[in-house]
Amino acid sequence: MAVVAILTTVIGTTSIPAFATTTNGTLIKSSIKNNTLTKDSYISWFNEKIKKSTGSEKADLKTALSQFKALTKEKQDKFIEYLNNPEIMSNAIKTANNAVKQEVKKSSLASLNSSSQSTSNKVFKYNDDIKVTVSSNVEDTDKSNKSNSISKSSYGDAQEHKVTGTYKDAITLFDVDVFQAIIWVKYTHNGDEVLSVDDGNAYTGKNYSPLLDTNWSDVSLDYNSQKAWATSDVTFSLIWKGLGVKYGSAELGVQGDVNKNIEGWTTPQ
């Protein structure tokens, strides 16, 4: 289930001051124009983020801002309306999430054959406004048994592979990036069984909503003879019209197997 399902789950509302600070950006003056985000304040927020960013992050921010400015006035107004009231998106999001869930059940998102890298993307379009994209990437680096301590008596002469599997769950409005969650796991296998889980991480790749804040738990890593996986819990805080915070959470996960199939998931909690 895609990460946007979180926006449909409200488990509490807490009063906050008219001025609110999020880890996603600088101070937000929530009282601007009837306590809502406006087009002008959104552009100002983007410009502040661009000033403080560097490298690819700065380039991505500039691209998203340019795309937003290129929208018609009608679409810009609707875009801001979506950000101000996430409940507007609920019905559309539920439909997109159901499509994601069914597709992920059918097959792995990405698998690696003879090549060293493979990427799979699945886009679920609810209407002309909202799209949900889930993607998976797998990278494989050969590693000789001679360079590690695993004995040939245990595993024979099978060549080891270091595999990194990445799962991304993203939201766009009018084809403009709004949010992206990323989780990855790195593991070692020899073609017959998984030998170890080596590393992993989960984080917010993009967050272009001043009203959305995220907090991630430490990544949990584990494996068995056939699979390795990483999971992490993310908590979403939505500052809505300067009046309160709506809380929700989800588990993001990614797993890879000895055949280098990568699957990912997002499960609301």
Q: What is the pLDDT of residues 60-106, one digit of tens each?
A: 999 999 999 999 999 999 999 888 876 665 455 555 556 656 555 44
Confidence grade of residue 107 (pLDDT, cut at 50, 70, 90):
very low
Break the chain into its structural domains and give their ranges.
3-268
Residue appearing with tokens 């559309």: 92
State the Cα–Cα distance between residues 165 and 160, nearest whole angstrom: 16
Q: What is the pLDDT of residues 149-208, one digit of tens each?
A: 333 334 445 688 899 999 998 889 999 999 899 999 999 999 899 999 999 999 999 999
Predicted pLDDT at 139 = 82
Nearest to 83 by CA among 205, 214, 241: 241
